[in-house]
A and B are shown apart, each in its own frame.
Chain A
Amino acid sequence: MTETPAPRRPRRLLTAALVAVIAAGLLALGGGLAVALGIGRTEQPTADSVDAGFARDMSRHHLQAVEMANLATTRSTDADVLRLAFDIASTQTNQVGRMQGWLDLWGLPLTSGDTMGWMADGAMAGHDMSGGDGAVMPGMATETELAQLRSLSGTPFDVMFLQLMIRHHQGGLEMAQYGQQHATQAVVRGLAGAIAETQTAETTTMEEMLRARGGTPLPAP
């Protein structure tokens, strides 16, 4: 008689524990299902990822091309050069907007002092950047070159513009190819691939234009 009430108290505790376990289990199950089904997935690149590095550095590389192309509107009178310059300026401005938009969505800074650190074994190796004149990435024009380009007009401008832009495109190719191969986000790989492929073709076009205007290409970066 005195032993009968004794086991009933643990029984109530057991009941409560069971309910708690079931509830917790279901919550975990639901959460797990949601994750498995991809509801609210928020996997985002970090600041040192290839995706973010590509978006930052290709933006910076592009913006100099846009700057040079914008000079053509007031300094060139050649319809083909003007069309090419507009194509470069509008396309690359659009692409910079895409890349900076990604960085915004990922909550990452748009710029960084460290260029091309995201590429394995330093893409700067193999490129001579000892000029120390502001050419921060392969193919980019120096401040001196930009100043000279600004001082020109007419065909002399067209020739130097094409020379600098050809080298600029060549310099960005490696970065684009690396992004195409190593970025984790599909949208980044897609844009990097598009840049690599179309700028190669555009380089061929510009080389023909350069020859037609009596110029010769600069050494590749």
Chain B
Amino acid sequence: MAKDPKPENGRPNSGPSRGGSGSSRASGQRSGGQRPGTQGKGRTRPPANVVTQQKPWGLIAAAVAVVVFAAAVIGYAVVKVNEANADKVTSADQISGLQSFDYASGQEHVTTPVTYTESPPVGGPHDPEWADCTGTVYDVDIRHENAVHSMEHGAVWITYDPDAISDGDLTTLQDLVDGRSGLLLSPYAGLGSTISLQSWNHQLAVDSASDERVQQFVDFLTFNTTVEGHYPEIGASCENPTFISDPLVQGDSSRGASSAATDAPTTETPATDAPSSTSPAATESSTAP
């Protein structure tokens, strides 16, 4: 080991020192004494060199720091995003106990009474006139055919059993509905639960107005435009001042029917008028294309 493989090269003394740290002290001292300028430094370096070869602690520490920092940043972002969405209902089936139905959009307008399958109804044919649903509190059992039209316009119709509800719960519902666009509240005779919430194709029965699902239902389903289960006439109005000042109640006949009845004579008189009014438009379109 101490032997240089090529002692003939004229550097016999460098052989042992180059051999490594394991070389004899005698040769080391000798070479150190001979060339202090270069050999002395070279003598102290090898141990330092050995340390860096073992473990690059600085590099490891830096890498760990970067990893920890990155994980913290990403973790924080993910937590924040999840937090923001935590309380939000994003689909109807997240509201437990909610029932869904499948009434198609574009239901017929009828002025005759409709026998609905569900009670209260959640869709189907309805009156041409919608019940005002601009955050309207009714104290009468409004005509169901008109309320169904309100739901077609995106409203949540809240009904309660006037015999079963407590004063406190009724006040809670009135406060919830009053002035909040897209809501209407009315008593409903023969309701199967204390409170029932309806929107087009959705229904939820609850016992108490403070049930958290009431707020979830109202928040998610009022004017709900999510692709699955959106209300039929997106963008339609809830305004109908006539219905507020003169609400139709169960058993009343449609205003459409009565106006059609009063219209009947008026349509008959202009029946002579009609040809003169239809023909210009008809000729118009026949010349246009």
How long is the Cα–Cα vector from A213 to B268 in the complex, in angstroms?
Answer: 8
B77 contacts chain A at the CB level, 8 A cutoff: yes
| B11 nearest CB across to chain A (Å) | 11
Which of A11-19, A49-57, A108-116 participates in binding chain B?
A11-19
Asked whether A131 lies within 8 Å of B17 as measured between CB atoms, the reply is: no
Is the contact region of chain A dominated by helix, strand, or loop, or is it mixed? Answer: helix
Chain A interface size, under 10 / 10 to 19 / 20 to 34 / 35 or more: 35 or more
Q: Which of A112-151 contact B (CB under 8 A)?
A: 128-131, 133, 135, 142, 144-145, 148
Q: Which of B180-227 contact A (CB under 8 A)?
A: 225-227
Asked whether B42 lies within 8 Å of A15 as measured between CB atoms, the reply is: no
How long is the Cα–Cα vector from A218 to B18 in the complex, in angstroms?
Answer: 107
Asked whether A94 lies within 8 Å of B281 as measured between CB atoms, the reply is: no
How long is the Cα–Cα vector from A191 to B286 in the complex, in angstroms?
Answer: 32
- Given A130-B289, A156-B277, A29 and B284 contact (CB-CB distance below 8 Å): no
A90 contacts chain B at the CB level, 8 A cutoff: yes
- Given A33-B74, A34-B74, A91-B237, A155 and B227 contact (CB-CB distance below 8 Å): no
Asked whether A215 lies within 8 Å of B225 as measured between CB atoms, the reply is: no
- Given A145-B281, A218-B282, A198 and B105 contact (CB-CB distance below 8 Å): yes
- Given A90-B237, A92-B235, A95-B234, A83 and B128 contact (CB-CB distance below 8 Å): yes
| A26 nearest CB across to chain B (Å) | 4
List, in ascending order, chain B residues with CB within 8 A of A200's CB. 106
| A41 nearest CB across to chain B (Å) | 11
List, in ascending order, chain A residues with CB within 8 A of B63's CB. 18-19, 22
Asked whether B14 lies within 8 Å of A1 as measured between CB atoms, the reply is: yes
A67 contacts chain B at the CB level, 8 A cutoff: no
B175 contacts chain A at the CB level, 8 A cutoff: no
Asked whether B49 lies within 8 Å of A155 as measured between CB atoms, the reply is: no
Number of A-B contacts (CB under 8 A): 189
Asked whether A194 lies within 8 Å of B38 as measured between CB atoms, the reply is: no
| B219 nearest CB across to chain A (Å) | 18
Asked whether A131 lies within 8 Å of B237 as measured between CB atoms, the reply is: no
- Given A22-B66, A145-B281, A167-B285, A214 and B128 contact (CB-CB distance below 8 Å): no
From B49, B52, B78, B105, residue with most partner A Cβ within 10 Å: B105
List, in ascending order, chain B residues with CB within 8 A of A33's CB. 74
Q: Which of A76-117 contact B (CB under 8 A)?
A: 78-80, 83-84, 86-87, 90-95, 97-98
| B275 nearest CB across to chain A (Å) | 8
- Chain A 208-221 interface mask (CB, 8 Å, partner B; 1/0): 00001111101100
How long is the Cα–Cα vector from A194 to B134 in the complex, in angstroms?
Answer: 21
Asked whether A80 lies within 8 Å of B235 as measured between CB atoms, the reply is: no
Which of B86-94, B114-122, B163-171, B255-263 participates in binding chain A?
B255-263
Q: Which of A2, A8, A163, A193 contacts B278 (CB 8 A)?
A: A163
- Chain B 35-67 interface mask (CB, 8 Å, partner A; 1/0): 000110010011001001000101100110011
Q: List 27 A-B contacts (CB under 8 A).
A: A8-B49, A22-B67, A29-B70, A80-B128, A90-B237, A90-B239, A92-B235, A94-B234, A94-B236, A94-B237, A95-B234, A98-B235, A156-B274, A159-B274, A160-B281, A163-B281, A163-B282, A186-B227, A190-B225, A190-B230, A191-B225, A194-B105, A194-B234, A198-B106, A200-B106, A205-B108, A219-B285
Given A145-B281, A193-B227, 6 new contacts (CB under 8 A): A18-B63, A26-B66, A98-B234, A160-B278, A198-B106, A200-B106
